[in-house]
Amino acid sequence: MAILVLASTVSWTVDKHICMGRVMDVALFSHADDCGMTKDMEKTCCDDESFTIQGQHDLKITFDDFSLDQQFFIVSFVHTYFHFVEVDEKEPNHFSEYNPPPLIRDVQVLDQTFLI
């Protein structure tokens, strides 16, 4: 999930150096290296192309950004989810009807073994 958030928020810049119709170098986040032919020739045969994919900068989505139909769907979905999935807060006690065995003698006191 963190990789997805990182990839969607970073702006990506791809730079290409094209010489005589062939891609000579492609660089991500930096400038592409040239082939060296632009210095030798008066008339250049090379082109540099770059494009940028803008990342998402606003990650906070409020409830008011949704349309009325989307708000209605979200509210009804949450309501039905909590209606069908009920959590029992009180666990049943199955041992309330049974009494413990009678204490004939206190073994811990007789043997003097105490848990600390």
Residue 42's pLDDT is 54
Paired with 50 in beta bridges are: 15
Residue 39's pLDDT is 59
Asked whether residue 60 is assigned to any structural domain, the reply reads: no
Asked whether residue 87 is assigned to any structural domain, the reply reads: no
| Domain coverage including residue 39 | 1-53
Asked whether residue 45 is assigned to any structural domain, the reply reads: yes
Asked whether residue 96 is assigned to any structural domain, the reply reads: no
Structure tokens at 10: 């970073």
Count of the separate structural domains present in the chain: 1
Asked whether residue 46 is assigned to any structural domain, the reply reads: yes
Residue 54's pLDDT is 84
Residue 43's pLDDT is 64
The pLDDT tens digits for 82-114 are: 877 766 677 777 788 888 888 888 888 888 888
Residue 40's pLDDT is 55
What is the spatial order of strands in the sheet that 22-28 belongs to? 22-28, 12-19, 46-53
Asked whether residue 24 is assigned to any structural domain, the reply reads: yes
The pLDDT tens digits for 8-64 are: 788 888 899 888 888 888 888 788 887 777 555 556 778 888 888 887 776 677 777
Residue with tokens 């030798």: 40
Euclidean distance between CA atoms 25 and 38, whole angstroms: 14
Asked whether residue 27 is assigned to any structural domain, the reply reads: yes
Asked whether residue 109 is assigned to any structural domain, the reply reads: no
pTM > 0.85: no
Residue 91's pLDDT is 77
Euclidean distance between CA atoms 26 and 12, whole angstroms: 13
